[in-house]
Amino acid sequence: MGIQQSHPDLHRALEGILGAEHLLTTDEDREFYSQDIYRTADDHVAAVVRPGTTDEVSKVVAAATNAGLSVIARGGGSSYTGGLLPDRPDSVAIDTKRLDRVVEINTDDMYVVVEVGCTWQELHQALKPHGVRSPFWGPASGGTATVGGSLSQNAILHGSALHGASGESVLGLEVVLADGSIVPTGSWSTVGGKPFFRHYGPDLTGLFLGDTGALGIKTRAVLRLMRIPPSARFASFEFKDGTQFAEAMGEIARSRLVSMCFGMDPVLQHQRMKRTSLTQDVKALKGVVTSAKNIGKGLKEAAKVALAGRSFLEEHSYSTHYIVEGRTEAEVDEKLEAVRKICLEHGHEVENTLPKVLYGDSFFPMTTAIGPQGERWAPVHGVVPMGDAPGAIAKIEGLFASNVEEMERLGVVIGILLSTVGTNGFVIEPVFYWPGPQTLYYKRVLEPAYLDKLKKFEHSPDAEALVAEIRTKLIAIFQELGAAHLQVGKTYPYRQGRNPNTWNLLDAIKTAVDPKRLVNPKSLGLD
């Protein structure tokens, strides 16, 4: 039931705050905002609001919670752990995409103030003419993923190998609490002060990072800036053995040699090779050209990419890919030689097409959120200590091997994406593909012309059940391994795994900032 019928007074109040054009109540809108990549909530939100200022967010949140409705912030929606899904019909989704302004770029004090609905791609383009970027500069989905969504999920990828998860680049936040009060953090909370420093007293900024929006609604963020390194080189390697592959990635991370790394197991590599060849990806080649220091070098690099395509990747190997940056060519050469020395002990070097393209055009299109032939797609992940990665990978591959007959019968495919976070964390991300119909999420997010090219699958309850079963077993394995998780949402057993005293403290904080438990209820296990 929409908000017009269930809460007419609130409907009028929200229209008065936002204008009718920014209050969405159609059945289709309510369904779309009740979906993520993996699933659709049992109950659809009652309404969707699109505030354009912090003040509007404050008024919307206060009006909704005073009326007894829950509020859930949503950025690009590219999540798969249920953190942005409603748990009840009396819910309001807050679409933050109109909060998309880059408010201040300060290259003297090296920070940027940005509204949370700005995508990482938009932020990256705004900063680039100034020769700067944030140390973490976005997830792979940064063309769609917003700054606020990524900070709520502790996103990783670009820059994570050196600078950690997204939250480690944050200097301060502006947050709206359940009662509508607006709270700045860090030095931003000093009357008349600049938001240049995070650690002023207790780290209240950290409290709202990785919270899946359960503690408050972020409206603006302050990110640290760094100068873009003038030199960059790329390298890719293949391994026949998964243990040696993981050990090489770990040693490179410990040595702080690369700004980004990722790896693929043979299954995921095979899935990637099914997609449209890089030689046909004009946007990718354009990115390679424009990222080079001069047009001549850029055209030469693009020609190499076009010539190599993906043919250099062997179907049954593990591959790793690195971006190496530095202040001088000599520094980059030295780092690259160290990377080669580690990898060539057990692997061999291949064409560096993939990291080169990724550096040229940092953000994958959302077409990667659907299988190469139109299959459903969803990951699950865990972060393990660097030294535990080889054993963890072997254990996970053993789970897949024990289910291989059922997977083959039902058309379920599972590959593994791997990456590192700083010198401590190794991310293992199994990626599921299975036959299933295109959801409203795909129909709105992906280009219709692209979807039309893909195979249309019928609903397969058995395949869906198998995916759910293996996901559950994977999560149990990660829990057994003592793994951490980034976008916790409503998927991972956060509460079950906490020290009781730690949990009691978090629960008390939730009560203090949200006494009615109406800000994204049940995320993080906070009922």
Query: What is the pLDDT at residue 360?
Result: 82
104 contacts 56 by C-beta, under 8 angstroms: no
**Six-digit token string for 267:** 């299954």
Do 102-227 and 229-364 agree at the fold level? no
What is the pTM for the complete model shown?
0.91
Alpha helices in 481-524 (DSSP H): 500-513
In degrees, rounded to 5, the angle at the alpha carbon of residue 48 between the alpha carbons of residues 494 and 166 is 40
Q: How far is Cα 27 from Cα 47, in angstroms, rounded to an integer?
A: 9
Q: Output DSSP code: residue 131.
A: T
Query: What is the pLDDT at residue 275?
Result: 64
153 contacts 78 by C-beta, under 8 angstroms: no
Query: What is the pLDDT at residue 270?
Result: 83
Nearest in space to 519 (alpha carbons), one of 152, 9, 24, 80: 152
If 0-12 CB within 10 Å is exposed, 13-18 middle and 19+ buried, where does residue 130 land? middle
Can you spell out the DSSP letters for 329-360?
HHHHHHHHHHHHHHHTTT-EEE--HHHHHHHH
Query: What is the pLDDT at residue 437?
Result: 95
DSSP SS3 for 295: helix
Q: Output DSSP code: residue 492.
A: S
Of all helices (H) and strands (E), which one includes residue 416? Answer: strand 413-421
DSSP SS3 for 427: strand
Give how far the C-alpha of residue 24 lies from the chain's centroid of Cα atoms, to the nearest Å. Answer: 26
State the angle between helix axes of 282-291 and 295-308 in degrees (0 to 180), rounded to the nearest 10.
Answer: 140
Residue 202 neighbours by CB distance under 10 Å: 9
Can you spell out the DSSP letters for 304-328?
HHHHHTTTTS-TTSEEEEEEEEESS
Residue found under tokens 């603006």: 220
Q: How far is Cα 247 from Cα 392, in angstroms, rounded to an integer?
A: 12
**Six-digit token string for 402:** 């024990």
Query: What is the pLDDT at residue 269?
Result: 86
**Given CA atoms 143, 148, 153, 157 in this order, what sign does their dihedral have?**
positive
- Number of residues in the chain: 527
Nearest in space to 273 (alpha carbons), one of 371, 177, 132, 148: 371
Of all helices (H) and strands (E), which one includes residue 24? Answer: strand 23-24
The CATH classification of domain 229-364, taken from the options 3.40.250.10, 3.30.70.3450, 3.20.20.140, 3.40.50.2300 = 3.30.70.3450
Strands (E), 80-225: 91-95, 102-106, 111-115, 132-133, 170-176, 182-184, 217-224
Query: What is the pLDDT at residue 289?
Result: 42
- What is the Rg, in whole angstroms, of the alpha carbon atoms belonging to the chain? 23
The CATH classification of domain 3-96+516-525, taken from the options 3.30.2130.10, 3.30.43.10, 3.30.70.270, 3.90.600.10 = 3.30.43.10
Query: What is the pLDDT at residue 345?
Result: 95
Can you spell out the DSSP letters for 41-67?
-SS--SEEE---SHHHHHHHHHHHHHT
Query: What is the pLDDT at residue 297?
Result: 53
Residue 336 neighbours by CB distance under 10 Å: 18
**Six-digit token string for 455:** 């195979």
Give how far the C-alpha of residue 441 lies from the chain's centroid of Cα atoms, to the nearest Å. Answer: 17
Cross-strand bridge partners of residue 415: 431
The CATH classification of domain 102-227, taken from the options 3.30.465.10, 1.10.760.10, 3.40.50.300, 3.40.50.20 = 3.30.465.10
Burial letters for 452-463: b for 16+ Cβ neighbours within 10 Å, e otherwise?
eebeebeebeeb
Q: What is the pLDDT along the chain (527 residues), one digit of tens a residue?
A: 789 999 999 999 999 999 999 999 999 999 999 999 999 999 999 999 999 999 999 999 999 999 999 999 999 998 999 999 999 999 999 999 999 999 999 999 999 999 999 999 999 999 999 999 999 999 999 999 999 999 999 999 999 999 999 999 999 999 999 999 999 999 999 999 999 999 999 999 999 999 999 999 999 999 999 999 999 999 999 999 999 999 999 999 999 999 999 999 999 988 877 765 444 444 544 554 455 555 455 444 444 544 445 455 666 689 999 999 999 999 999 999 999 999 999 999 999 988 988 888 778 788 888 999 999 999 999 999 999 999 999 999 999 999 999 999 999 999 999 999 999 999 999 999 999 999 999 999 998 999 999 999 999 999 999 999 999 999 999 999 999 999 999 999 999 889 999 999 999 999 999 999 999 999 999 98
Residue found under tokens 């009357």: 191
Nearest in space to 138 (alpha carbons), one of 166, 111, 115: 166
The CATH classification of domain 366-489, taken from the options 3.40.50, 3.30.300, 1.10.600, 3.40.720 = 3.30.300
Nearest in space to 73 (alpha carbons), one of 222, 219, 182: 219
Could you tell me the residue ranges of all domains in the chain? 3-96+516-525, 102-227, 229-364, 366-489
Residue found under tokens 């640290």: 224
What residues contact residue 74 under an 8 Å CB cut-off, 6+ apart? 33, 84, 93, 94, 95, 96, 149
Q: How far is Cα 88 from Cα 183, in angstroms, rounded to an integer?
A: 27
166 contacts 422 by C-beta, under 8 angstroms: no
Nearest in space to 153 (alpha carbons), one of 247, 95, 75, 226: 75
Nearest in space to 268 (alpha carbons), one of 84, 71, 450, 418: 418
Residue 325 phi, psi dihedral angles, 5° rounding: -125, 155
317 contacts 296 by C-beta, under 8 angstroms: no
498 contacts 401 by C-beta, under 8 angstroms: no
